[in-house]
């Protein structure tokens, strides 16, 4: 192939895709648009631009150079948004630290990423106290506090964010550089081993933003995200850039609302007072919000909520719709920036009942533009798209991590055969909707066939007595593995339903739904609690290790 | 700046932005979606994919290699759409020949681009007959015909498109290559000198498609282009890729309607029968359609029409709205791929009267994401954005031609100072809406001040007797130049209004509108006809040369 590449006249601007350019349109068109932190702090995009400049000047004055790493420990805030822009725009790398990891893991990620400067909220001083003496590369600390009288920092700090910002000049000449420059890094929260670092370039984040804008803007009605929306994240900004939506919201010039630490009463208040119309979260968080007493007095109608991170039970989708929420699902993971698919409904589907709509709303979605998403067997051969055949989801897109930080073997495994391996199992129907059924490691192998733990969970969660459920595989002499449902009952149903009754209910529902014939081998146990990961997902690895310990 | 570029594990797919990838989503999600040519030929996206493969095989079998140029002479058709994909996807370059140029100019562009293979509709055989002996590089010709018994080709051809396609296999392994590979070229239709060639890469066309999707998708209501739209171009596919919308429509999986040569009765029929909901055209074409007898019986309601190419008179915008058309303006040119801005209305503006809406609908719009659009003085200094101060529009975006073909001096002039110079004059208001007032060369310099010919045209076009108007500058001893309005009256107003009466009307309206005080020096002459360029724009250069010749 000898293609002819375009030649550029010497004066031509060969536009690199850089994060700073996401700010062009909002500053040119809606400079007075609002950004608020909890409704308590409120400023305009014009001020955002100034504060981004101030932050860059502050960091540069304290020796942060291009290629170095600035780590951030904060809840969702305007300050985080400022760092999303200022740090990469100066050519440095933003490490978004998962503050829900334990202190040892946080220490591991800060040392592993070679973080140079740390911006830390006083809420996390106890963590910092535990690890301060063992930080190998951090040489500068900036503190943040929402408190009038914050506690003293357990480590020498150069000062507090707001006062340092006020002292720094607002103008910073953000340079052009290679669009493949690394912009961000963060660590995935696997259930085994040390956290693994992923990383994204300016080019990747700009393309992810455009891809999401194209997908969410192209929706005819349902799930249409537009320039009059009010955006509030409820997926942490430390978790895959809050799914990239702060970049999207900024490029589109939306009003933005940052809620701080997720407290249901604050979230309900902000939705009402700030007229939030677009958010995203994991099912557990939505569950938590809708079940809070404050929710009974909150009008959620017209609130678009994109669900991801784990499967959305259809029952939750129906309950949310009945509250007026436009709930739908997306799919992605830390390694994929993250968004790969979105499950929009067309006009015909919107005419159906909430229950029928939930079947689509709870699917994992259809690929974004430029996303090459396949389901394949072990030899990377395509499985048929008939809505039944299950294969591993593998993908190519312009915004996937090109490896793991300092982990060449895991990186090659991730990209085996030139496709990123999600380790998710799923089917694709003729309309192109992906339905992720399980993590590869969560599939239950019974009698030599794969049974989907998620399908079984979906069936059981529809029982009126069930609050939450996790289905795991337990060793079985005859079948290899057989499924076990760990069920947390709703408080007012405890003692009114038996494990046996629920098992019969499930077996019947499984047969009716036409799920794997081995599903009927399901056992049911009531539990005191379910084990979750730091970001609210079911931790099946731990539950498998000793299910008996959880049971009533 | 030593940024840290992301490193890729050896097996990682480093996704180049290639036109073939625009096909991924529609083929995965709506393979049965329709594409029709005049309602006479109808096939699915699945067939489009096959025909793209066949076309590539056909071209390859006849020696077309990566880096070579395939020229196309056709009206808007499914065949053109196939070429939009197949030619660049095989690494070759598609030259979209402006069939409205005169034969000598067409010959010039084919030789200048070094076209290797020519695909030509039998309608253009008369042109081909004139130039056949003087084609310097074309060595293969493929004919197209919509006729049952087409005339013989005036040059040796290898065969007819449909039969050659049928004989070629549908599978072609389109390779990956450098995203900066040239994908398209075409020649601008200036009013002076030889046509100038511009060129666009795969990367640029993909980014232009994403940028348009983000801008049109982000509209809250007005001008929202979405996945249930039916698309029909009414800007020729040879003219700046039909503004890039065939790529957008394909990426979004829209139903597509190709109308062939623009005949108002066919266009009206297709709008009604195929339920066309999104088109784009120059004001003259819309004028032609709406004034055709067939239009009186056509329901245009809900038809979104993006106007560009020349200024939209507010009166036309109001008339279109009253027919139920969602009319709005975009801005760009051959050199810019083309779209730079779109003039969407927010919900507040939509509540106003059609006349008030027309003020915004007829503006030139707000910049797309990533578009850095400025108005500047001679020294590239920014003019204030107060809706009044006028400067030259200069721009940076990821999709601008990096020069002119084999014209280094013109290329450097185009990119002088690192910004692409549009040679358009305009103002920007505080809400970021650009209003292009004139081409630099169409500005009238009266008494040392700039007077906008377009503003004067806008004023005069509102008079009930006026069918069309062009305002030009004519030499004047006292004032340097003074404005002259060449007015084409509506047939039923001829003889009922005098030039003097119209001059008084205009002078009054100009004072009321607060336009340049020298506007009142305007003279009015009635004309038999107005001179237009090959693509329907006013040719003011020719009219300035001898205005007297046009007058009644």
pLDDT digits (tens, 9 = 90+) for A348-359: 999 999 999 999
Q: At what angle do helices A453-461 and A314-322 cross, to 10 degrees?
A: 40
Q: What is the pLDDT of residue A310?
A: 82
Rounded mean pLDDT of chain A? 93
Distance CA A365, CA A429 (A): 10
**A387 interfaces chain B, CB cutoff of 8 Å:** no
Cβ of B12 and A93 within 8 Å? no
> A359-402 pLDDT, tens per residue?
999 988 999 999 999 999 888 999 999 998 889 999 999 999 99
Cβ of B214 and A251 within 8 Å? yes
In the predicted model, what is the mean pLDDT of residues B123-148? 96
pLDDT at A440 over 90: no
Q: Which residues contact B536 (CB under 8 A, 6 or more apart)?
A: B282, B284, B285, B309
pLDDT at A31 over 70: yes
pLDDT at A451 over 80: no
Domains in chain B with CATH codes: 19-200 (3.40.50.12780), 443-550 (3.30.300.30)
Distance CA B298, CA A552 (A): 72
In the predicted model, what is the mean pLDDT of residues B336-347? 96
Contacts of B227 in chain A (CB under 8 A): 218-220, 344, 346
How far does B186 lie from chain A, in Å, by closest CA? 14
In the predicted model, what is the mean pLDDT of residues A493-522? 83
Cβ of B210 and A206 within 8 Å? no
Contacts of A368 in chain B (CB under 8 A): 25
Least confident of A4-18, B366-380, B434-448: B434-448
DSSP summary character for residue B390 = -
* CA A222 to the chain's CA centroid: 21
Contacts of A351 in chain B (CB under 8 A): none
Q: What is the pLDDT of residue A546?
A: 87
ipTM of the complex model = 0.88
In the predicted model, what is the mean pLDDT of residues A64-68? 97
Return the top range by mean pLDDT from A27-36, B379-388, B489-498.
A27-36
Nearest CA in chain B to A88: B3
Q: What is the pLDDT of residue A439?
A: 76
> B251-282 pLDDT, tens per residue?
999 999 999 999 999 999 999 999 999 999 99
In the predicted model, what is the mean pLDDT of residues B54-70? 98
Strand order in the sheet with A304-307: A41-44, A34-37, A255-258, A230-231, A278-281, A304-307, A326-332, A339-342, A366-367
Residue of A453, A485, A450 lying closest to A466 (CA atoms): A485
Q: What is the pLDDT of residue A244?
A: 98
| Tokens of residue B142, six digits | 């493929």
Choice between B116 and B529, residue whose per-residue pLDDT is larger? B116
Least confident of A247-256, A452-461, A510-519, B36-45: A510-519
pLDDT at B385 over 90: yes
**B206 interfaces chain A, CB cutoff of 8 Å:** yes
Distances (CA, A) of A404 to A407, A505, B144: 5, 44, 53
Q: What is the pLDDT of residue A190?
A: 62
pLDDT at B160 over 90: yes
Distance CA A307, CA A331 (A): 8
Q: What is the pLDDT of residue A397?
A: 98
Q: What is the pLDDT of residue B162?
A: 97
Say if residues A385 and A393 touch (Cβ distance below 8 Å).
no
Cβ of B419 and A13 within 8 Å? yes
Q: What is the pLDDT of residue A481?
A: 84
pTM listed for this prediction: 0.88
Residues in a beta bridge with A280: A306
Q: Which residues contact A545 (CB under 8 A, 6 or more apart)?
A: none
H helix count then E strand count, chain B = 18, 25
pLDDT at B440 over 90: no
Distance CA B145, CA A279 (A): 53
| Tokens of residue B244, six digits | 């890039």
Instruction: Name residues 119-158 of chain B within 8 A of A (Cβ).
Output: none
Instruction: Name residues 44-73 of chain A within 8 A of B (Cβ).
Output: 65-67
Choice between B473 and A116, residue whose per-residue pLDDT is larger? A116
CA geometry: angle at B61 spanning B58 and B62, to 5°? 90
Q: Provide DSSP, A348-414.
A: HHHTS-HHHHHHHHTS-BEEPTT-EEEEE-TTSPBPP-SSS--EEEEEE-TT---S-TT-HHHHHHH
Q: What is the pLDDT of residue A516?
A: 64
Q: How confident is the model at residue A144 (pLDDT cuts 50, 70, 90)?
A: very high
- Whether A335 sits among the annotated catalytic residues: the reply is yes
Least confident of A92-101, A252-261, B185-194, B328-337: B185-194
Say if residues B267 and B234 touch (Cβ distance below 8 Å).
yes
Distance CA B503, CA B501 (A): 5
Contacts of A13 in chain B (CB under 8 A): 396, 400, 415, 418-420
Q: What is the pLDDT of residue B4?
A: 96
pLDDT at A447 over 80: no
pLDDT at A497 over 90: yes
Report the percentage of chain A scoring pLDDT > 90.
80
Choice between B149 and A54, residue whose per-residue pLDDT is larger? A54
Residue of B406, B409, B519 lying closest to B460 (CA atoms): B519
Which residue bears the tokens 């897109």?
A397
| Tokens of residue A193, six digits | 């081993």
Q: What is the pLDDT of residue B456?
A: 86
Instruction: Name residues 427-446 of chain B within 8 A of A (Cβ).
Output: 431-432
Q: What is the pLDDT of residue A517?
A: 67
Report the percentage of chain A scoring pLDDT > 70.
98
Q: Provide DSSP, A185-224.
A: EEEE--SSSS-EEEEEEHHHHHHHHHHHHHHHHS-SSTT-
pLDDT at B438 over 90: no
Choice between B337 and B537, residue whose per-residue pLDDT is larger? B337
Q: What is the pLDDT of residue A191?
A: 56
Distance CA A492, CA B139 (A): 83
Q: What is the pLDDT of residue A512?
A: 79
Q: How confident is the model at residue B9 (pLDDT cuts 50, 70, 90)?
A: very high
Residue of A113, A45, A143, A48 lying closest to A86 (CA atoms): A48
């Amino acid at each position: 192939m000898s293609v002819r590449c375009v030649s550029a006249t010497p004066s031509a601007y060969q536009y690199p895709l850089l994060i700073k350019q996401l700010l062009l349109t909002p500053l040119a068109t809606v400079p007075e648009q609002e950004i608020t932190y909890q409704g308590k702090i409120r400023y305009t995009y014009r001020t955002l631009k100034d504060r981004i400049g101030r932050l860059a000047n502050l960091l540069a004055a304290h020796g942060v150079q291009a290629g170095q790493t600035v780590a951030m420990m904060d809840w969702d805030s305007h300050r985080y948004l400022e760092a999303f822009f200022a740090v990469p725009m100066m050519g440095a790398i933003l490490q978004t630290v998962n503050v829900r990891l334990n202190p040892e893991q946080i220490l591991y990620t800060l040392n592993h990423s070679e973080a140079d400067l740390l911006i830390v909220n006083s809420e996390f001083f106890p963590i910092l106290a535990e690890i301060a003496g063992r930080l190998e590369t951090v040489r500068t600390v900036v503190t943040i506090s929402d408190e009038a009288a914050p506690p003293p920092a357990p480590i020498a700090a150069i000062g507090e964010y707001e006062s340092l910002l006020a002292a720094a000049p607002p103008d910073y000449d953000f340079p052009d550089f290679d669009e493949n420059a690394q912009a961000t890094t963060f660590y995935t929260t696997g259930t085994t081993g040390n956290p693994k670092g992923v990383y994204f370039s300016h080019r990747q984040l700009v393309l992810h933003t455009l891809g999401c804008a194209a997908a969410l803007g192209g929706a005819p009605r349902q799930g249409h995200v537009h320039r009059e929306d009010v955006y509030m994240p409820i997926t942490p900004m430390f978790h895959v850039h809050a799914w990239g939506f702060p970049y999207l919201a900024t490029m589109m010039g939306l009003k933005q609302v940052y809620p701080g630490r997720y407290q249901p009463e604050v979230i309900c208040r902000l939705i009402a007072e700030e007229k939030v119309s677009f958010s995203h979260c994991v099912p557990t968080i939505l569950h938590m919000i809708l079940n809070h007493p404050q929710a009974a007095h909150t009008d959620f109608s017209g609130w678009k909520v994109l669900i991801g991170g784990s499967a959305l039970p259809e029952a939750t989708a129906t309950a949310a719709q009945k509250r007026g929420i436009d709930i739908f699902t997306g799919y992605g993971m830390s390694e994929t920036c993250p968004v790969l698919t979105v499950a929009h409904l067309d006009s015909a589907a919107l005419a159906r009942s909430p229950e029928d709509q939930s079947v689509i709303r709870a699917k994992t979605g259809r690929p974004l533009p430029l996303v090459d998403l396949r389901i394949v067997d072990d030899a990377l051969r395509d499985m048929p798209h008939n809505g039944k055949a299950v294969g591993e989801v593998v993908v190519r897109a312009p915004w996937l991590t090109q490896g793991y930080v300092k982990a060449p073997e895991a990186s090659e495994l991730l990209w085996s055969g030139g496709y990123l391996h999600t380790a998710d199992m799923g089917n694709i129907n003729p309309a192109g909707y992906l339905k992720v059924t399980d993590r590869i490691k969560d599939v239950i192998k019974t009698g030599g066939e794969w049974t989907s733990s998620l399908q079984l969970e979906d069936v059981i969660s529809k029982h009126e007595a069930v609050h939450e459920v996790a289905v795991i595989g337990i060793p079985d002499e005859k079948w290899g593995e057989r499924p076990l449902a760990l069920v947390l009952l709703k408080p007012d149903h405890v003692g009114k339903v038996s494990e046996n009754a629920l098992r019969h209910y499930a077996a019947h529902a499984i047969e009716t739904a036409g799920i794997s014939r081995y599903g009927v081998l399901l056992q049911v146990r009531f539990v005191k609690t379910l084990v979750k990961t730091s970001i609210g997902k079911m931790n099946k690895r731990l539950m498998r290790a000793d299910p008996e310990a959880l049971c009533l």
